[in-house]
Structure 1
Amino acid sequence: MNRQISRGEEALNVLRGNDRGGYTIPTHGLYPYQWNWDSAFAAMGFAGFDPARAWRELESLLSGQWDDGMVPHILFHQQDDGYFPGPEVWGGTGPIPSSGISQPPIAAGMARRIYQADPQAGAEPMRALFPKLLRWHRWFLKWREDQGAICTTHPWESGRDNAPEWDAALKRIDPVGVGEYQRRDTSHVDASMRPTKFDYDRYIWLVQQGKNLQWDQAALLKECPFRLADPTMSFTLLRAHRDLKALGDELGLDTGGMADEIALLERGVQSLWNAEIGSFDVRDTRSGEWSGIISCAAFLCWYAGIESEGQLQHLRRILGRVTYGVPSADPDWSGFDSKRYWRGPSWPFMNMLIGSGLIEAGHSEGEKIRAMTQELLLKHGFSEYYDPLSGEPAGGGKFTWTAAVWLGWVSVDKG
């Protein structure tokens, strides 16, 4: 049996092993619940061999939608005492015990991929999901919009937990009253690959503030000190809204107002252009300051359909410095750490979003990123993330979204 076939079988086994009967966990032990954008990638992975299961994954994710339209970043389908912070810490108010924040909206884009593979079979589930996805997108526009860009109100909401762009805002938070707690992530993974205690104290303080405010979005808009306009959130929502409108139009559904919302988001992402560094950047809406750091989030512009020659020049420079895809932080940044979570490592799912956007825009760098990612997974399997210089696996193993990226994007069967 050749090497590529064995990798494909391994990827299928990862998804099946993390399947909990209608929803998928990222990996056993480290992440025992359903995570929002992880689940969207899982659906893409299932689509190639079990489309019905792919639709169930998205349906399960949307089953946790709150009354106000928010789709949480974690759904606690069953109790697992090995994870912190659990549902009792969050105090979520949705139909399923959940966290009180969301995550970058990838689901509509994955739904479109699944639908396009078989429009006849996908019409009914897509019609059912459309109004739920639209309510979620409009929740972002109502509660997270600033100058047309989309904000994150917690590092975990961005999906890039310890990204260096959050450092200045976190330093301004005094985590008074957080108290003692027991992290579980560092019992599964080397602590040098995870966020620091300094970061984690502030993560928990923000969770406690949200719970104390009963996740009232109006109160959080006024009181939360962490509100940063973020390229990840902005570019993914812009792409998701484009995809959702295209699906709605094809299915004859009401897409009224969506074109104007897309135009707002297109203007909004331009508010994230930091001319000083010539890159899209995080803008702190409380202080007005830029982070001044080029991260992988900036390269999501093509995924959102936004062209940028300046951003392309940065990408070419950075790809010349690494071996395995787009690092999460610029390797020329003084704090670059090739193994610490979002401060340097390469994430295959981000490679996919960035690379697929580049391919759609006609840039050869997209195929280069796909080839880099393919080589990485062939050599090192399906881990959570990787050292972009050596390819050394880091974080959790047997990871759902990495296996899904193999199945849906980088497998040599895809050409």
Structure 2
Amino acid sequence: MKLVIKNGIIVNPARKQHEKGDIVIENGKILSIGGTADTEGAEVYDANGLFVAPGLIDMHVHLREPGQEAKEDIHTGTQAAGAGGITRVATMANTKPVIDNAAVFRDVLRRVDECGVVKVSVIGALSKNLEGKQLSEMGDMAAEGAAAFSDDGHYVESANFMRRAMEYADMLHKMVIDHAEDATMCSGGFMNEGKVSYAMGVTGRPAAGEDIAVARDLLLSEMTGCHIHIAHVSSAKAVELIREAKAKHVNCTTEVTSQHLYFTDEWLKNYESSFKMAPPIRTEDDRKALIEGLKDGTIDAIITDHAPHCNEEKDVPFNCAPNGIAGLETSLASALTVLCHNNGFTIDRLIELMSVNPARLLGVEGGVLEEGAAADIVVIDPDKEWTVHGNELYTKSLFTPYEGLTLKGRAVLTVVDGEIVMKEGKVLK
């Protein structure tokens, strides 16, 4: 079946293309880009007034499978991704069992083949059981196609172990994704430490705990040459440290979540567990620093850190709730609202941050529209206003910090390998 996306504004920053035209898709591939296409015998989607871009790529999600399917599974998680305009996700290793060996890695790939709605890259653990003591089967997982290695959810406390793991990852030509929060400073806290946490009487997680961890691992990257990718940066000082390291040509990159760009700790005053995450949402000064880091290129990608939990786990007093929120279906809308509508970002820059750069960092196909390439495409209505309700999302988690908020902008069509997987908000697989 031939599919023609007509009359859209083609946003293809990897090819410096921003023009109105048609895209023709056949047999899962892009047949032609631009101009006016013949629609005879084709399914036609009229994208007049809409942006047509390479499918979004979220390089940091938790699909929870294997072992935590009550929170999310590969099918529901990739449904949520499709609903959000995301055509590929990279799933983290903190499952049960941990993805720390080739057997578990292959099983995840098998499940993706069975029920994945969008494409899935798999990130292997850095250490056995995420304990930071013994290397995982990194070589075997790299041979199976691991996109990167990470003990995300856990900070590697031993600097020497982290050094050796980075040296090994570098030999395998893989980046290390670093959850940078010093546990000795942060593990007993529940939100950002500051004026708001003091007023609420809640033990905080100081930004210095993140800054110290970032500084250490940037130094280790400089020492080993390994590509270190700082996960979900949240503090102004951490952004400054990364900016300085890049100026010195340290092999480092970083990412930010859409929720850290939208919210500040002031939103937590009602002790709502839907705002509880790690690293925590910080101050307005931190939020502004994150936006500035996106403007000047210090921050390379926008991600979700989609980390859903069972509803009964989050529906508890604030301090008792686990860290993490569902974000796949709100990420694009949140970023459009904050960056494009409120801070002057172009749609081209947003696609760089949410598609082009993640594809490059993961080393996967995508992030560009070109003839002969896989037809992974998102169509975006930048002005579509919609109100978020957790019970209307595809993720299993009903808890979202965006509950009841009206966002501006939404994906209206998601195409994966030439197949429409989401149309006008409805996932078709």
Whichever structure has more strand as a proportion of its residues is 2
Higher helix share: 1
Report the TM-score, using the length of structure 2 for normalisation. 0.28
